[in-house]
Amino acid sequence: AIERTLSIIKPDATKRNLTGKINAKFEEAGLRIVAQKRIHLSAAQAGQFYAEHSERPFYGELCEFMSSEPVVVQVLEGEGAIAKNREVMGATNPANAAEGTIRKEFALSVGENSVHGSDSPDSAKREIGFFFSGLELVG
């Protein structure tokens, strides 16, 4: 089925001017960027987005990092977009990421791992709604 998923190009990547190279990976994989904006999150907004991780030991560090520099938030659309995006991103820890994936090529560490992608249809719906209104999604 055609799906939509929420993607974030994280501060470590925007800082190194990797937005275009990362977007090329998505497009080459057949994912269409149907919405995109560059924003600078506050630590509180990052905390709200990642609320499900609030009990994890890395939560504070995660919120600080995600608000350290601008991010690019985007909606990717395509056949099986949620799984396809996770395939293109590679494993969370770049040390475990497969050749050719975004995290293998660009990520610096498990925290500074260049991209985020929704992990299920439910989280995609919530995460897209967190950043975008329906009017901003242009298929």
Task: Report the binding-site residues for ATP.
Answer: 10, 58, 86, 92, 103, 113
The b/e string for 7-34 (b: 16+ C-beta within 10 A; e otherwise) is bbbbbbbbeeebbeebbebbeeeebeeb
- 62, 90, 116, 124: the active-site residue: 116
Q: Tell me the closest approach of the beta carbon of residue 38 to ligand CMP, in angstroms.
A: 17
Annotate each residue in 88-127 with x if it binds ligand CMP (CB under 6 A) or - if it does not, as one string: ----x-----------------xx-x--x-----------
DSSP codes, 86-114: HHHH--SSGGGPPTTSHHHHH--SSSS-S
State yes or no: residue 62 binds ligand CMP (CB under 6 A).
Answer: yes
Is 116 catalytic? The answer is yes
- # of chain residues touching ligand CMP (CB under 6 A): 9
Q: What are phi and psi of 76, to 5 degrees?
A: -105, 135
Q: Tell me the closest approach of the beta carbon of residue 119 to ligand CMP, in angstroms.
A: 7
Residues forming the active site: 116
